[in-house]
Structure 1
Amino acid sequence: MRFIADMMLGRLARWLRLYGYDTLYGVEDDDEILRVALAENRALLTRDSSLAGRARRLGLKVILLDSNSLEGQIGELKRHGLEFRELFPPNARCPKCNGLIRPVSKGEVRGKVPESVYQKYDEFYVCETCGQIYWPGRQWREMLRIDERLRRV
């Protein structure tokens, strides 16, 4: 399932990307959100009941979320039948731009990451769209801790 999330759901959009869901985010105008959702056959994620109503009248699939917390929103999506696969590669999309992430050899990132990171890690991934490089460092470990909490929701 492909999504477009309204501007109230930035944190959720980033996490959906990490779980591998193609999720657009950053479109500020409601009319443009609806246009993109129709053109690209995307389900709308929103906390705005007015926007949800407009989308339903256009025949769009809509998930109207009540919760303001990430944990609550994930719980609501689970009740809508969404599955949360393995976090991060091999399924993930870039949390920044929604591009696909692929593994790369250590040699491909030489000179593109701090030398201390290059020396410490052997596992690297790169976004095919924006070029962001990822490795299993401190921030990655923190995401895995949050993932454990989200899976218990």
Structure 2
Amino acid sequence: MRFIADMMLGRLARWLRLYGHDTLYGVEDDDEIIQVALQEGRIILTRDSCLAGRAKKLGAEVILLSSNSLGGQVRELKGLGIDFPELFPASARCPKCNGPIKRVSKEKIRGRVPEVVYWKYDEFYVCTKCGQIYWPGRQWGEMVKMDRRLRD
């Protein structure tokens, strides 16, 4: 499934990317959201009933969410059969730009991360689109904790 999330759903969009879902975010204009959804076969995620109604009339697939919280939104999507697989860096998408993430050798990131990070970790991932580098450090640990809360 490919999604496009409206501007009210930034946190959800980042988490969908972490779960490996191709999710566009950052398009501010409702007409453009509808156009992109129709052209690219994306499902519109929104809390805006006016946008949802207009999009449906034009033939776009829409999920109208009612919850304002990330946990509630994830529960709604799970209830519709959207998969939330185990968090794993190699299957995630970049939470910043939506690009695919791939594992890279430690040698390839030398000089691109702080020295302390380079020597402390052996596992690195890079976004193939924006070049952002990720490693299973403290921030990844916090995401895993949040993932557990979302699963409960």
- Which TM bucket (shorter chain)? over 0.9
1:46-81 superposed Cα distances (whole Å, 9 cap, x missing partner): 000000001111111110000010000000000111
Unmatched runs of 5 consecutive residues or more in structure 1: none
What residue in structure 2 maps to residue 67 of structure 1? Answer: 67
User: SS in structure 2 opposite 1:75?
Assistant: helix
1:111-148 superposed Cα distances (whole Å, 9 cap, x missing partner): 00000000100000000000000001110000000001
Unmatched runs of 5 consecutive residues or more in structure 2: none
User: SS in structure 1 opposite 2:103?
Assistant: strand
What residue in structure 2 maps to residue 148 of structure 1? Answer: 148
CA contact (8 A) 2:90 2:125 kept: no
Tell me the distance in 1 between the aligned counterparts of 2:114 and 2:26: 30
1:25 aligns with 2:59: no
What residue in structure 2 maps to residue 93 of structure 1? Answer: 93
What residue in structure 2 maps to residue 54 of structure 1? Answer: 54
Tell me the distance in 2 between the aligned counterparts of 1:38 and 1:131: 29
Moved segments of 4+, more than 2 Å: none
Tell me the distance in 2 between the aligned counterparts of 1:130 and 1:38: 26
Tell me the distance in 1 between the aligned counterparts of 2:86 and 2:72: 19
What residue in structure 1 maps to residue 44 of structure 2? Answer: 44
User: SS in structure 2 opposite 1:53?
Assistant: helix
Tell me the distance in 1 between the aligned counterparts of 2:135 and 2:91: 15
Q: TM-score, with normalisation over the residues of structure 1?
A: 0.98
Q: TM-score, with normalisation over the residues of structure 2?
A: 0.99
- Aligned-pair distance for 1:88? 3.3
CA contact (8 A) 2:124 2:134 kept: yes
What residue in structure 2 maps to residue 14 of structure 1? Answer: 14
Tell me the distance in 1 between the aligned counterparts of 2:132 and 2:99: 10
CA RMSD of aligned residues (A): 0.6
